[in-house]
A = this chain, B = another copy of it.
Amino acid sequence: MIRIGIVGYGNLGRGVEAAVKNNEDMELAAVFTRRDPSTLHIRTDNVPVVAYADMADWAGKIDVMINCGGSATDLPVTTPEIAKHFCVIDSFDTHAKIPQHFAVVDEAAKQGGSVSVISVGWDPGMFSLNRVYMNAVLPSGNDYTFWGRGVSQGHSDAIRRIDGVRDARQYTVPVEEAVQSVRNGENPELSTRQKHTRECYVVAEDGADLARIEQEIVTMPNYFADYDTTVNFITMEELQRDHQGIPHGGSVIRSGRTGMELENSHTIEYSLKLDSNPEFTASVIAAYARAAYRMHQKGETGCFTVFDIAPAMLCVQDGDFLRAHML
């Protein structure tokens, strides 16, 4: 059994707990938290909750740590800290800072003799992987990524910070005509506005100026100003009844050409439709935890990404089985 440690018990940590339960070769060894461990109630029986500060005591008792912290301030500090003592996976998703994060974690992992895999999930993660395969296979072509329909936590938070807003949920929605044009191999040039719309469901405080709130949302720079945004005011009851899930998904599409004169066109599409964004992300991470465990057993050290890991490394089944049943 691969002994897994979870670091941080928010939505992603809870998703990893479920993923470990659903992978026959993994067991949850401990959950680490910065909160008071006695206040944390996890769903798996007989698994200790431990203070983050006491992690070093668990050396040799955990095979892979799964770091479920946030990308903004947490993972850049904690993933290298953990890598000095344990194999570790994170889902670092600040695309622009990945090279820097990779360098720091690589140094720590080599120092600690451990294997780290960063930026695991679906984007970065499965989407990135598919971009690489698609580009390798169709060198002449264009990539497109569409996100949604799904909840953007960052955009929902941005709405909540507006004066007079009690709660809010924001859905990112791909523009169907744009997706169809890409699928048809038309290689369109698409502006931000032409690719996605933004749907907002807002619970306002009693007596709040709804027109002012709507105006603040649709003109908010970076978040909404560049999009066609619709704002729907609903009650708290409606929000709790209709908008409690964390669905997401999207598509990576590459349209490319082959032939002596590039006369033939091809479209490759990878799509996800997810009931629960954190649980799916956690399931991807669990598969890469298995790979990290195996790579470490083979004596590898350092930082890796999904690009560096052969697909067979993710599977419970061995090569003979995979060739006989899945090739």
User: A residues within 8 Å of B by Cβ?
Assistant: 15, 17-19, 21-24, 43, 95, 98-99, 102, 119, 124, 126, 128-133, 135-140, 183, 185, 258-260, 262, 264-276, 279-280, 282-284, 287, 290, 305-312, 314-316, 319-320, 322-324, 326-327
Q: Contact: A273 with B282, CB < 8 Å?
A: no
Known: A99-B324, A266-B275. 9 other contacts (CB 8 A): A17-B260, A95-B327, A132-B315, A136-B314, A258-B275, A259-B279, A266-B273, A267-B273, A268-B272
Q: Contact: A319 with B308, CB < 8 Å?
A: yes
Interface CB pairs A-B, < 8 A, 23: A18-B259, A23-B139, A24-B139, A98-B323, A126-B133, A128-B326, A128-B327, A130-B270, A131-B326, A133-B314, A135-B326, A136-B287, A136-B315, A137-B284, A137-B314, A139-B316, A265-B275, A269-B272, A305-B322, A305-B323, A305-B327, A306-B311, A307-B312
Q: Contact: A133 with B137, CB < 8 Å?
A: no
List B contacts of A314 (CB < 8 A): 132-133, 136-137
Q: Contact: A258 with B271, CB < 8 Å?
A: no
Most chain B beta carbons < 10 A, residue from A21, A95, A260: A260
Of B95, B102, B311, the residue contacting A133 (CB under 8 A) is B311
Q: How far is the CA of A324 from the CA of B132 in the complex (A)?
A: 12
Of B18, B283, B310, B322, the residue contacting A309 (CB under 8 A) is B310
By beta carbon, the residue of chain B nearest A315 is: B136
List B contacts of A282 (CB < 8 A): 258
Q: How near does chain B come to A291, taking the closest CB pair, in angstroms?
A: 9
Q: Contact: A312 with B308, CB < 8 Å?
A: yes
Q: Contact: B279 with A307, CB < 8 Å?
A: no
List B contacts of A324 (CB < 8 A): 98-99
Q: How far is the CA of A203 from the CA of B66 in the complex (A)?
A: 62
Q: How far is the CA of A272 from the CA of B183 in the complex (A)?
A: 10
Q: Contact: A279 with B262, CB < 8 Å?
A: no
By beta carbon, the residue of chain B nearest A312 is: B307
Q: Contact: A270 with B273, CB < 8 Å?
A: no
By beta carbon, the residue of chain B nearest A259 is: B18
Q: Contact: A280 with B266, CB < 8 Å?
A: yes
